[in-house]
Amino acid sequence: MHTSPLKRWLVGLTLLVVLLFSAYLWLKPLLSIGGGYAAKHACSCHFLQGRELEEISTNDLNFSVLGYYDLRTSGDTLRANLFGLVEREAYYLGARGCVLVNNAERSLPAARPAEAPRMMATPLEAAPNPALEPALDYGMQHVPGGGARGIVILKDGKLVGERYAPGYDRDTRLLGWSMTKSLTGLAVGAWLHRSADTVTAPASAPVERRNLFPAVWEDARADIALGDLLHMNSGLAWNEGYGSITDATVMLHETPDFADFALRHQLAETPGTVWNYSSGTTNILMEYLRGEIGDNDALYAYLDELFGDIAPSLLIEPDQTGRPVGSSYGWATARDWARLGQLMLQTGRWNGEQRIPAAWIEYMRQPAAGSDGTYGAQLWLPGPDMPSLPPDAYMMRGFQDQRVFVMPQQGLVVARLGHSEDKVTDFDGLIQRILAAYE
């Protein structure tokens, strides 16, 4: 039977259209996650840092397909659109930062005036050390995907070194990503030991609390202790991978209630036995705090009272329920990130007040089961990738190479924030050069 060229062409075109449509349906969930990332990140960078959309696209959305999303603002709304195939929205909430719309049928958190008064911090005393210039030069050099945007070094609480990339300065808020987890850990400890009779008590007693969420954990999950959550030993199933459809990316970019999403995961391991890094676990901790304190407004007020005069620029953005995202969305200036590290170096004491018990800081530094000694309670410990780091050091650590190093024996705090491919910065070389300045 003879088939005309036109008919063969039409059949081929039809097959191509079917294949392209099938590929789109297969890729659409991943494109939606990418669009959510683009919308949320661009909204925060635009409104919190005052950056232009084109510059954000070029320098922050410079991986995967993110740079192809068209970014536009309309009032307090930012939209990220990929050729009309996917569109995602984020809203600016003033003093609460930005929120990604993950469910259009649910309401958004109430906006707060951006000019709301903040507590004033005690100014850092400057004592510049010229010997740190080689370290700052090294730390600010280009790395794949970008580089540092701010580095601050404190020695015995004094500002001894500071450097910023063009377009950034000491007043620019910078995203700490998972460094926010350490703040959540500090906030939990301060809450557990908030009364005078518990401030000097061992940390071990309150972290043994179980049956934390009886309305949801009615099965073996009721045996998960608060300490298991803090150490990422909950046993809950979780995939923290990025760049694909995983628990972490679905939670951040598709789910309106981050804590509820994580709470409903099932046990994969016996609680307290296996280490599994999970942003969902930290958002469960923030939900624990919210339940203890009352509501989201009271929770934000508590965080402001705890950290406000230490890091006045600190802002932890919410999910769509209005709960602060304790796993990922903390913004502060490089100086304020360093001051938060100084709070830990001073074992929780600030301006003569014991904000967080020293015993709790020590508890956070105890290695989690199964972590090979590299993770504590919402806090990172020295690992084989950083042989130059003193053995008593610890750190806050976030995606795209955000770090705050605390070195108690040397009295040093080092904050480095920027944008790059993850795990490409030579932090060991940076620490080597900083320590050499004090030999």
The predicted-structure confidence for 147-162, as pLDDT tens digits, reads as follows 999 999 999 999 999 9
Residue 124 lies in a domain: no
pLDDT of residue 369: 97
CA-to-CA distance for 146 and 397, rounded, in angstroms?
Answer: 18
CATH number at residue 388: 3.40.710.10
What are 313-370's pLDDT values in tens digits?
Answer: 999 999 999 999 999 999 999 999 999 999 999 999 999 999 999 999 999 999 999 9
| Residues of the domain holding 48 | 5-100
pLDDT of residue 28: 85
Residues 367 and 422 in one domain: yes
Amino acid at 347: T
Find the helix or strand (DSSP H, E) in which 47 lies. Answer: helix 5-49
Q: Is there a single domain that holds both residue 90 and residue 141?
A: no
Q: Which residue has the higher pLDDT, 290 or 196?
A: 290
- On whether residue 118 sits in a domain, the answer given is no
pLDDT above 60 (res 198) = no
Check whether residue 94 and residue 141 sit in a common domain: no
Does one domain contain both 286 and 406?
Answer: yes
Q: What is the rounded average pLDDT for all residues in the chain?
A: 93
- Contact (CB, 8 A) for 310 and 121: yes
On whether residue 216 sits in a domain, the answer given is yes
Q: State residue 122's pLDDT score.
A: 76
pLDDT band at 121 (very low <50, low <70, confident <90, very high): confident
Say whether both 197 and 265 belong to one domain: yes
> Is 200's pLDDT higher than 80?
no
- Residue 209, pLDDT > 70, answer yes
pLDDT value of position 102: 97
pLDDT of residue 379: 98
One-letter amino acid at 107 equals S
Mean pLDDT computed over 227-242? 97
Residues 157 and 246 in one domain: yes
191 belongs to a structural domain:
yes
Indicate whether 113 belongs to any domain: no
Domain boundary at 81, 100, 119, which?
100
Say whether both 334 and 432 belong to one domain. Answer: yes
Q: What is the pLDDT of residue 25?
A: 47
pLDDT class of 117 with cuts at 50, 70, 90:
low
Task: Single out the residue in 55, 84, 100 at which a domain terminates.
Answer: 100
Of 9-18, 98-107, 228-237, 298-307, which gets the smallest average pLDDT? 9-18
Number of compact structural domains in the chain: 2
Q: How many CA atoms lie within 13 A of 261 on its CB side?
A: 25
- Kindly state whether residue 423 falls inside one of the protein's structural domains: yes
Would you say residue 26 has pLDDT above 60?
no
* Partner residues linked to 153 by β-bridges: 161, 414
pLDDT band at 439, cuts 50/70/90?
confident
Please report the sign of the dihedral spanned by the C-alpha atoms of residue 235, residue 396, residue 60, residue 121. Answer: positive
Asked, for residue 409, whether it belongs to a domain, the answer is: yes
Q: How far apart are the first and last CA of the chain?
A: 88
Q: What is the pLDDT of residues 55-83, one digit of tens each?
A: 999 999 999 899 999 999 999 999 999 99
What does each C-alpha distance from 437 to 155, 410, 434 come to in angstroms?
A: 11, 11, 5
Same domain, 78 and 148: no
Q: Give the three-class secondary structure for 26.
A: helix
Residue 199's pLDDT band, with cuts at 50, 70 and 90, is very low
Is residue 120 included in any domain, yes or no? no
Query: Is there a single domain that holds both residue 293 and residue 170?
Result: yes
Residues 63 and 160 in one domain: no
